[in-house]
Structure 1
Amino acid sequence: VTVSVLYWPAVARVAPSLRKRACCRPTATSTRNAFVFAAMTVALRAVGLVTLFVAVVVALPQRHECVHDAVRRLPGYGANAERINVSYAFDTSATTRSFAAQQSSSFQSLRIQVFFDQGDCSAGTCGHCTAVGDTVPTYESAGATTTCQTDDVLTTEKRAYIVDRLMPAAKDFFQRALNVARVSGNLVVSGSSTCGQSPGTAIPASHQSTGVADADFVAYVTAVPKADRSSATVAWAAACRRDSADRPLVAHVNFIPAKLTNAVNLTSVDQANDEATAVHEIAHALGFSAPFFGDRGHLALDGTTMVPSGGTTTATSSTLGKSVTYLTSPRVVREARAYFGCDTLIGGEIEDQGGSGTAGSHWEKRIFNDDSMSGISTGVLSYHSRLTLAFFEDTGHYTANYDAADTRMAWGKGKGCAFAENKCDTLGTNDDNSEFCFDTNTQNTYCTFDRLARGYCGVGDYGQALPSHQQYFSGAPSIGGAVYHSDYCPTVLPYGNRICIDPTTSDSQDVYGNTFSATSRCFDSNLLQSGRSTGSTRRETRCFVPECDGVRLRILVKGVAVTCPADGSAGTADLSALNGQYSGSITCPQSSVFGCAAGVTPPPTSGGGTSPTPAATPSPPAGPGTPPSTPTPQTAPTPAPNADLVPTPAPPSLPLSCADRVSCARTAMAMLPQCRGAARAIADCFGTDCDTQMENYLRAAGVYSNCTSNAAQTAYQGACIEGRAGVADLCYLALSPAASVGVWGPALFVCLAAALLAVGVVPL
């Protein structure tokens, strides 16, 4: 069967964790279809019933655009928010603000009060779905409504997730991070009866008369779906009330219930990301938004004068080959220069890609990759930075407690003007020191820059020439990073099921030495239990627990410590302590990556298999490595820098290890109930001493001798992995005759038909 497959950019060999910040997460449909296609490809090839060739791959455009800028333009939101009169502890009018008081006790911790859905469901103004078939407003335009579907219903778990976890986390962060001139008495939310006017969410009558006690900022939270179910929006927020000096006072925050899939699982990594999304959106509501960048004035560095204009600068960068907009208010400049170690940096670069939802209202992804206020989140975790707090302080509305900022963000930190001001292909590639990768081989695996996960170099084909100043692959003008917000610079993207710090991650076969825990980190390694082989020569990675013994790095493999070079330099770990249980190697980075230094000692329990004390949070690596060659200039037409191009990734490849095949089969069981019988048989097949069975089959096929050296494995890779005639016979060896292909083969064809419909397969 030869088919042409239409599938989404989210498809990968193992679906990656690629989440767009706040409004930007892959849709459930695209991820499900990706899994279906990958699982069925594995299933069909594994049993030798059908050979599936992907002849044509067309990427369907899936625009994960944040909606903050769209919301702030609606009546009653953002720069259109109603102005109300509020009394403060001292004079804060636009002309006579006592800015010196910001440095005194007059500015106190920001008090935030949160109220969930104040609408009347019986009157049709409910701000959440109570049942399938309900009609609720979307707040996207005047009178816009949508009919609730199953995933839209606000279950008890989803409500608790918002009310008890996400909003408290955001509230706690800003109450620690920002100080304000507090409201005197109650905050009376005067004006219209709604927060926003499209139609907006209801404001209780008591809030408009008596007011809200102990509040400097009020958030009204709803949980309605977007009318466009293919949207990747997770949440949005915008201010709906402000004072005469444009300080935001009241906001509408909305979460999309269908995207809160972690409400039931409550995994720590996903919750951390959802909490970061809540913080991101509240930051927009508090004023981190394009209309407030530069045209509202900023506070002078000495805290005594309000500069009435300025705060942004646009200049042409000869090194980047484009026009760049910077935030140039004084504290932002101070923090940006300190972070990169560049005393001449103009300011904090603003994102110029991603369309109206992202461009202009976020930090530039290329150099602020892990900042929670970048427009798209593609890593394992994101961090609330001093740079963002500096912006809030520059507005004159707040002072910042910089101790609340997360110091773990290391992307580009301390790497000087070269990193902040130059193209990514001049900064190093494919090594421990580089934030960027330039590898088009999708079989290779890499560690993410922060070493929190195993991943792959995210590269895609955009189908047309990229802007000439953003072409990094010689002779391939249409190839670029899969996350185009980073100026098409390719970065390592994590696999969703290979997160080292996620304790819920596991290997289907425990043969790789991996440990998934909060203290684990990623290492370049091809470790494997002795006597086993994946038949692969690709670059590989593993998750181990690092610890420091003075300047020396030690790595725990299933609780057994192996040692790196004594002087803390990079090198290869000594695996003798493993007593031959594992073959392969582990590459040691410089121990300073994990904070190892003289006087740092390992815990007494290390090496005994009990929970070790981890090494310190990784500090930024040393300077950049060798840059790739400069790409050959292209003459192909160049699209505009903000063109909404979507990369066409390589088609999903068959997993190379038995363990990964079992994982894919189990995914098929979970995703396609009608395929569980066939998928379970496949899982049983590959889960039954798979490596031994594979070896027996290869010996019988007469090709085993071709698979015993690295050079031969490369030449005979297909045979070494699949066997010359496929692995149907291998499955027959592993399964009893009653469970052979003849019994469950027909069911697999039913699954094939369902899968083809699910992913949009079109026969040639």
Structure 2
Amino acid sequence: MSQGARDHCFPSWRPAAVLLLLIGSEALFPWSSQSSLFERDPWSLEEAQRILDEIEIEVSLQQEQERLRRLSGDAFEEPSRGLSPKPWFQEMSERYGAPLQQHPQRYGLRLGRRLEAQALHENNTVPIRFHLNFDTLYEDKVQANPFTKDRYCFQEGAWFRVGYPEDPKPVGAGPDNCGDRASSYPTGNKWCICVANDVITEQMRSFAIEATTEAMKDMPTFIQVLPVEGTLKFRSWEGSFPAMWQKTRQTGVACDPDCQKGLHVVVPDSLCSEGLTNTDAVLSVSMPPPVPGVGGAGTFCSADQRGRPLHLIFQWHRRVSENQFSEFSTQELVRHWRGLVLHEAIHGLGFGSSLWRNSYHAGGERRQLVKQLEVTDQDGTKDFIYHFMRYTRTYEVAKDYFACEEDADWQGLPLMSWPVSGRDTHHETRILRDDVMSYGNGLEAVSAITLAALEDIGHYFANYSNAECRSEPKMELRSKI
């Protein structure tokens, strides 16, 4: 590989500050006081209803904005793997304002108030170790769980829940009141009928397991973490948002309840009673009835006492067609879907979440990782878009890549502003088309810039030597910035 090609893979610049990366914010957010950090009362039924209404209004506005933009002729180039909107749980939990810190763990380093003396570096971190949970892909396990029952489709013509309907499950063949499922996804609280494309077939389940398993083998080559000491274990309790779970009729104690109630995944009781050895995080995979245009969605629903994500969720929406199964080998399909799996897993690690907006120094001062700055697009349209700011790793790695030598000429790397359903949670496609965290139809590379964005969260140590190459010409992209 030529030096010119290598420059597209990983930065020549590696700040010494990475070796002094602060571990997190436990000093500011001790686990025992999490409930006092909420900006909105998690015990208030009225507040829970307001949040539900806000989310419904925002979804309607986003759909209308995107409809009007399509009608105007300003079409958006949809990525081949599909869109990746925020899951409902992330929209809800971010409105409450408190960082997730439900499950304290043990680590080799003493994590206390002297965080300024702690650091993440290659000698005290290990390649991240995942446990993959596919229980939500099996009908018997889904139907035996009160929080996941009738959420997924295993037979064409069966009924499934959208939202939180109060009326009982219908009997008979319908019809339902869910509209044209090929062009839109039903909203609100209702029962809908499973169509053929909703069904989790044995072939699709086996492929999802194989594709996820193969893609996730790459993740430890990119990211290292402070290892969990002993067993990774979750708590059984009511959950972080008691009023919301009451409002949505999901009461009761459960193992890792926010994940079961908020993202409807099956969590084995053994994760709370026995725990997992040699594990730093869990990735649970589900296959909800597909939303048209969406490839998948990813987030996390549980974190440790410092806010480091412990339970990641990958909602796999887009199905592999029968023609694709016939035309391509399993190995070819696994390679093709690698980008989707890694994209959503990286979201699960915290990419695009409130972790960027709620980061703190060891002394308790807020770290400004991202800031909204006014920009003017090529058509003259003005907008306020989040940028990675000076002194972040993302700022410096991107500055180095685009050869912006003067800070005065570089206001930081902008995040994506359109479409609105993925705003502020992805790289700007026109700048980083080949990056796995953009909406481009390029190489889907896990780039040094994406690794830097994960490091900026404060929980990860990146292996830049394994960053993957992009093919975009630097100077062409620099002119777009």
Distance in 1 of aligned mates of 2:153 and 2:394? 41
The residue number in structure 1 matching 2:223 is 178
Distance in 2 of aligned mates of 1:109 and 1:298? 25
SS at the partner of 1:103? Answer: coil
SS at the partner of 1:232? Answer: coil
Distance in 1 of aligned mates of 2:392 and 2:309? 21
Give the deviation of 1:218 after TM superposition.
0.4
Distance in 2 of aligned mates of 1:406 and 1:122? 42
Give the deviation of 1:315 after TM superposition.
3.1
Taking a change above 3 Å as real, the CA distance of residues 134 and 92 of structure 1, as seen in their structure-2 partners, is: farther
Alignment equivalent of 1:309, drawn from 339, 364, 367: 367
The residue number in structure 2 matching 1:361 is 425
The residue number in structure 2 matching 1:530 is none
Taking a change above 3 Å as real, the CA distance of residues 210 and 332 of structure 1, as seen in their structure-2 partners, is: same
1:370 pairs with 2:434? yes
Give the deviation of 1:163 after TM superposition.
0.4
SS at the partner of 1:170? Answer: helix
Taking a change above 3 Å as real, the CA distance of residues 82 and 202 of structure 1, as seen in their structure-2 partners, is: farther
What runs of 5+ residues in structure 2 fail to find an aligned partner? 1-68, 165-186, 238-253
The residue number in structure 1 matching 2:111 is 92
The residue number in structure 1 matching 2:479 is 419
Taking a change above 3 Å as real, the CA distance of residues 337 and 306 of structure 1, as seen in their structure-2 partners, is: farther
Distance in 2 of aligned mates of 1:144 and 1:404? 47
Q: Percent identity?
A: 21
Could you state the TM-score of these two structures normalised by the residue count of structure 1?
Answer: 0.42
Give the deviation of 1:185 after TM superposition.
1.2
Could you state the TM-score of these two structures normalised by the residue count of structure 2?
Answer: 0.64
Give the deviation of 1:391 after TM superposition.
1.2
Letter in 2 for 1:130: F
The answer (yes or no) to whether the contact 1:91–1:98 under 8 Å persists in 2 is no
1:169 pairs with 2:214? yes
1:149 pairs with 2:203? no
Taking a change above 3 Å as real, the CA distance of residues 175 and 104 of structure 1, as seen in their structure-2 partners, is: closer
Give the deviation of 1:19 after TM superposition.
4.3
Give the deviation of 1:172 after TM superposition.
1.6
1:341-420 equivalences in 2 (<5 Å): 341-344=403-406, 345-355=410-420, 357-374=421-438, 376-379=439-442, 381-407=443-469, 409-413=470-474, 415=475, 418-420=478-480
Taking a change above 3 Å as real, the CA distance of residues 196 and 121 of structure 1, as seen in their structure-2 partners, is: closer
1:109 pairs with 2:118? no
Provide the aligned C-alpha RMSD in A.
3.5
Distance in 1 of aligned mates of 2:262 and 2:163? 5
Give the deviation of 1:365 after TM superposition.
1.5
The answer (yes or no) to whether the contact 1:158–1:263 under 8 Å persists in 2 is no
Alignment equivalent of 2:350, drawn from 260, 271, 287: 287
Taking a change above 3 Å as real, the CA distance of residues 251 and 263 of structure 1, as seen in their structure-2 partners, is: farther
**Structure whose CA Rg is larger:** 1
The residue number in structure 2 matching 1:121 is 143
SS at the partner of 1:349? Answer: coil
Distance in 1 of aligned mates of 2:402 and 2:223? 24
1:616-673 Cα distance to aligned partner (Å, 9 max, x none):
xxxxxxxxxxxxxxxxxxxxxxxxxxxxxxxxxxxxxxxxxxxxxxxxxxxxxxxxxx
Distance in 2 of aligned mates of 1:99 and 1:147? 57
Alignment equivalent of 1:202, drawn from 256, 262, 266: 266
Taking a change above 3 Å as real, the CA distance of residues 106 and 233 of structure 1, as seen in their structure-2 partners, is: same
Taking a change above 3 Å as real, the CA distance of residues 256 and 314 of structure 1, as seen in their structure-2 partners, is: closer
The residue number in structure 2 matching 1:569 is none
Taking a change above 3 Å as real, the CA distance of residues 142 and 169 of structure 1, as seen in their structure-2 partners, is: farther
1:234-633 equivalences in 2 (<5 Å): 234-256=295-317, 258=319, 262-266=324-328, 271-297=334-360, 308-317=366-375, 322=382, 323-328=384-389, 329-344=391-406, 345-355=410-420, 357-374=421-438, 376-379=439-442, 381-407=443-469, 409-413=470-474, 415=475, 418-421=478-481
The residue number in structure 2 matching 1:20 is 79
Q: How many aligned residue pairs are there?
A: 353
1:134 pairs with 2:158? yes
What runs of 5+ residues in structure 1 fail to find an aligned partner? 1-7, 11-16, 25-65, 300-304, 422-764
The residue number in structure 2 matching 1:188 is 233
Give the deviation of 1:188 after TM superposition.
0.8
Alignment equivalent of 2:293, drawn from 232, 237, 251: 232
Letter in 1 for 2:143: C
Distance in 1 of aligned mates of 2:417 and 2:356? 14
Distance in 1 of aligned mates of 2:197 and 2:394? 41
Taking a change above 3 Å as real, the CA distance of residues 117 and 19 of structure 1, as seen in their structure-2 partners, is: farther
Relative to total residues, which structure has the larger helix share, 1 or 2? 2
1:690-701 equivalences in 2 (<5 Å): none
Distance in 2 of aligned mates of 1:138 and 1:175? 36
Flag the structure with more relative contact order, 1 or 2, with Cα contacts below 8 A and sequence separation at least 6.
2
Distance in 2 of aligned mates of 1:79 and 1:163? 33
Letter in 2 for 1:286: L
Give the deviation of 1:293 after TM superposition.
2.1
Taking a change above 3 Å as real, the CA distance of residues 313 and 148 of structure 1, as seen in their structure-2 partners, is: same
1:605-684 equivalences in 2 (<5 Å): none
